[in-house]
Amino acid sequence: MRTLIRTLLAASAMLGQASMADAQSAGNAAEASHSRIAVAIASDFVSLAGSRENALALVSALRSGTEARLESDAAPEPGSPAGMEARAVFTTFRAPRAMRWDEVIDALSRAQAELARAGIAHPTPEQLRAALASIDTRPARGTR
C-alpha cells in the first residue's frame, strides 16, 4: 500500500512538472507569436511613426493599453553653434485601452488617413499622438 502511494505521489509530481513545463512552453510560444504579429503590423507603419522602434512601441502600446515613448530628432535651436547635431526629443503616448490586433491596425490606419488629409506625410510624434487621440477608439458594439 505504501509503495502504491509513493508511486502515485511520484507520478503526480512528474505530471505536475510536465504540466508546468508545457504551460511555460505554451506561454513562450504565445509571446513569440505576439511579437511576430506586432513586428508585422509595425512594419506597415514605419513611415507614419518615423522609425521601426516607434512603430513597434505604438503597436505594443495600443495592443496592451500601455504607454509608448516615441523618439524623434529635433533640429538644433536657432542661434546654436555651427555643426551642432540634432537632439533626441521624446514624446509619450498613452493608449486609451487594450485593443485587439484588428483594432490596432484600424487605429493606426485612421490616424494615418487623418494626417494625410491634413497634408502631413511624415508626422512628428506630437502630431501622431494628437491624431491618435482624436480618433474614436471605443470598441464597436457587440465586440467585447
The pLDDT tens digits of the residues spanning 60-117 come to 999 999 999 998 876 656 666 666 666 677 888 899 999 999 999 999 999 999 999 9
pLDDT tens per residue, range 25-45 = 666 776 778 889 999 999 999
Residue 52: name the closest of 64, 65, 38 by CA: 38
Whole-number Cα distances in Å, 43 to 26, 46, 63, 87, 111? 26, 6, 15, 25, 16
Calculate the alpha carbon distances from 2 to 7, 14, 78 in Å.
8, 18, 85
Does the global pTM surpass 0.75?
Answer: no
Q: For 49, which DSSP code? A: H
> For residue 4, is pLDDT > 50?
no
The per-residue b/e assignment along 42-78, b for 16 or more CB within 10 angstroms, e otherwise, is beebeebbbeeebbbbbbbbbbbeeebebebeeeeee
pLDDT tens, residue by residue, 11-28:
555 555 655 555 566 667
Set of cell numbers at residue 21: 513545463
